[in-house]
Amino acid sequence: MKIYQKLLLGFILISLLVLLVGSISIFSDDQISNDISQLVNSSLKEAEGAAKMNYALQKTQLNAQRLLSERLREIVEPAEAASAIVAATRANMEIHKAIVDFEKWLIKGREATNQGVVLAGKAGEKDQVKEEKEDLLILNNIGLQFTEYKAALSQFIVLTKEDLDDADEWLKDVVNPLLINVTQRVHSYQEDTEGELHAEAGEIREAAEGNTKIMLTTTAIALCMALILGLSSAHAITKPLVDLKIAVTAIGAGKLDTRLVVNSNDEIGVLLDSFNNMAKDIESANSELKNSQHQLLQTAKLASIGEISAGLAHELNQPLGTIGMIAEFATKLLDDSNFDRDNFRQKMQKITTQVDRATRIITHLKIFSRKEEHESEEKDINWIIEESLVLLKEPLKLCDISLDIELGDRLPKIICNYIQIDQVLINLIKNAQDSFDNFDNFDNSYNKLITVRSYEKNETICIDVEDNGSGMSESVVDRVFDPFFTTKPVGKGAGLGMSISYGIVKEHKGILSVTTREGKGTLFTVALPMKELT
């Protein structure tokens, strides 16, 4: 899956979570407002009904009293009889109206309660159903009591037309107790409905609190999920990048076999894959480079041998000539009548010495040109210098160059690849020899001279190769260690000797330095660390 697809999926998931939280809160709010409106519709109606019934009851009592007073006024004060009759009739009407009102509100109360039963039943709230049913019973009871009160009140109205004393007595003894009875019941009903209202308000508050809790919980869950999603996608992106950075540093430090594990086929996976391919290419290019460097070294070695082979032939001719001569001499001695055994043995020993001399040259040549890698070992630097001069003394002699060797006493041995150091010295001395080509010095006392010195300085073993040849110009010195840089004519060197020497000394953790004066000569110094080569 691509990273942008992963991110897109993450954002869609977060959006869905937000949508879920929103829906839950909207649904809960809707539920609460439904509950409130139902409560208003049912409970408030019940409470209102109770109040209205109470009011109607009071109205009946008030008008009953007034009816009685107006009847009395009609009899006691005949002058006011007419107005008293009107007032009594109005009171009578008011009583009937109040009765009708009471009954109307009673019916409304019953309807509201019935509705409450149905709603609570639908909502599955059993306690609510029970309470509403109890309310219904109370209302029925009030209805029964009110019927009784209404009958008594009708009897009272009839009595006010016949006998006021009886009517007064009936009102006090029958009507009023019945009224009190009904009033008390209505009152308790009123209190009951108010209690229910409080209880339901509490329930709504609880529901609202619960709703808040749900909202907070879902919000918290959504936040956590968003956080986890964000962190995991950030981790998925950054982790491979951090790994990549570490791997790049490792490659830079030369650990070319560094590879990354590719777990995905997204953009980062493609990047890591490319990195691995690049590292592989670098590694193989590096091994090819090492291989060709090795071959170059070998070629340069063989080239040096070619260049010094002229002197070499001369060098070998010497012992061979001597051997031939001694052999002939010895043969003559055999024919001598006075055969001198000791003299003959002496001649044979001389032959052996000369063979050793030739062998030394051949051995050196063989070791020098051998292709396999030599291991580092502990060597005396003076011995290495002497060995490298085996091949060089004759060529120098041929060019009429004097060699001055100043070897330091008791120098500590160094750990090195002596074949390579040998190669460095041969290169440096050959370079010194070439510095006399086309160099004219008209001073009569001038002699071509190469000086080779060994000494100890600042924890290093140094070898100087100094000549009094042509020296180098600044532009030549600057490039003296560059590969393929040469001032020599075609066929006299590929321009590799110095750069290879530089590489070898560097590999030994040493320093190859040069100081030169044009027309005066050049000094190359190889400084090799005395500490063990690691």
Partner 1 sequence: MNKILLIDDDKDFNDTLKEFLEYEGFSVICAYNGKEGLSLIRKEKPDLIITDIVMPNVDGLEVLVELQREPLSFPTKIIAISGGGRIDGEYYLDTAEAFNTDYTFEKPLVVGELLKAIRELLN
CB of 520 to partner 1, least distance (A): 22
Among 125-133, 391-399, 419-427, 520-528, which window interacts with partner 1 (CB under 8 A)? Answer: 391-399
What track of x and - describes contact with partner 1 for positions 77 through 96 (by CB under 8 A)? --------------------
Reference 449, options 425, 466, 428, 462; nearest CA is 466
CA 122 to CA 144: how far, in whole Å?
30
**Identified binder of partner 1 from the candidate list 130, 245, 332, 509, rule CB under 8 A:** 332
- For the CB of residue 307, give the shortest distance to partner 1 in the complex, in Å: 12
**Interaction between residue 437 and partner 1 (CB under 8 A):** no
Distance of alpha carbon 369 from alpha carbon 201, whole angstroms: 107
Give 219 or 343: the residue with its C-beta nearer to partner 1.
343
Token readout for 54 is 């109470």
Q: Between residues 51 and 316, which has the closer beta carbon with respect to partner 1?
A: 316
Q: Which residues contact 47 (CB under 8 A, 6 or more apart)?
A: 190, 193, 194, 197
> Residues touching partner 1: how many (CB under 8 A)?
29
Q: Which of 127, 165, 342, 400 binds partner 1 (CB under 8 A)?
A: 400
Chain position carrying tokens 């000094």: 523
d(Cα 159, Cα 177) in Å, to the nearest integer?
A: 17
- Interface residue with partner 1 among 91, 222, 312, 500 (CB under 8 A) is 312
Write the interaction track for partner 1 spanning residues 191-230; mark x where CB under 8 A is met and - where it is not: ----------------------------------------
Applying CB under 8 A, among 313, 355, 362, 367 the residue interacting with partner 1 is 313
The answer to whether 311 contacts partner 1 (rule: CB under 8 A) is yes
What are φ and ψ of residue 466, in 5° steps?
-120, 140
Specify the residue for token string 């962190």.
231
Q: Are 399 and 438 in contact (CB under 8 A)?
A: no
Give the separation between CA 256 and CA 74, rounded to whole angstroms: 130
- Written as one string, the DSSP assignment of 471-489 is ---HHHHHTTTSTT---SP
Q: What is the DSSP letter of 78?
A: G
Please, which of residues 337-366 interact with partner 1 by CB under 8 A?
A: 350, 353-354, 357
Contact status: 459 vs partner 1 (CB under 8 A): no
Least distance between partner 1 and beta carbon 326 (Å)? 6
Q: Using CB under 8 A as the criterion, what x/- string covers residues 269-308 for binding partner 1?
A: ----------------------------------------
Where would I find the H helices in 336-380? Answer: 341-369
> Considering the rule CB under 8 A, would residue 241 count as an interface residue with partner 1?
no
- Residue 315 binds partner 1, judged by CB under 8 A: yes
- Please identify which residue in 21, 326, 381, 452 interacts with partner 1, judged by CB under 8 A: 326
Distance separating alpha carbons of residues 268 and 236, to the nearest angstrom: 9
Compute the least distance from the CB of residue 447 to partner 1, in Å: 8
CB of 424 vs partner 1, minimal distance in Å: 25
Q: Which stretch binds partner 1 (CB under 8 A): 150-158, 398-406, 408-416, 486-494?
A: 398-406
* 405, HSE (Cβ side, Cα atoms, 13 Å): 16
| CA 54 to each of CA 67, 105, 140, 184: distance values in angstroms, whole numbers, following the listed order | 20, 10, 16, 9
Interacting residue with partner 1 among 49, 109, 116, 319 (CB under 8 A) = 319
State which residue, 187 or 357, has the beta carbon closest to partner 1: 357
Cα 492 from chain centre: 59
Please pick, from the candidates 28, 31, 318, 376, the single residue that binds partner 1 as defined by CB under 8 A: 318
Beta strand spans in 237-376 (E)? none
**How many residues belong to the chain?**
534
Provide the pairing of β-strand 402-407 with 449-457.
Answer: parallel
Among 90, 104, 314, 413, binds partner 1 (CB under 8 A): 314
Q: Residue 463 CB, nearest distance to partner 1 (Å)? A: 22
Q: What are phi and psi of 493, to 5 degrees?
A: 140, 140
Binding residues for partner 1, rule: CB under 8 A, are 310-315, 317-326, 328-329, 332-333, 350, 353-354, 357, 394, 397-398, 400, 402
